[in-house]
Amino acid sequence: MLTVELLDNILPTLYLTSELEEIKWSSVSDTDKLVLITKAEDFLSNIPFENGAEDSPNFETDLNKALCCIVYDYLNVSNTRYAEIKAGLKSYSGPDVSESYVDIKDFNLVSDSYKKYLWRYIYTGV
């Protein structure tokens, strides 16, 4: 289970310092971090996993990294990008980033970056 302390330890291993400064990570309160973790867990609760995925030795580590990506995305979507996505933007490519977007409840948006940690566990229906 992802805690605020674990989140604070994992995020700097996944994102550059400049990226964390851009989302003002150091000014996010622990209470807000808990809310973001809960929202990320709610998002992932809608993702079907293969039977036995939880028994894989790296599942919890990969799940926590995916949750961190989702938390980052919640804070990263700028007002301009949010407006573009609501208007129909499905992906974005820049000099150092390429993102695809998925609409989720409450008009929050998450890129598919979390899938790089969970792709082997997600049920594909085959």
pLDDT digits (tens, 9 = 90+) for 45-79: 988 999 999 999 999 999 999 999 999 988 876 54
Which strands, in side-by-side order, build the sheet including 109-111? 91-93, 98-103, 109-111
pTM of the model: 0.75
Q: Which helix (H) or strand (E) holds 33?
A: helix 30-44
What is the rounded (10 degree) CA torsion for 47, 53, 56, 60? 30
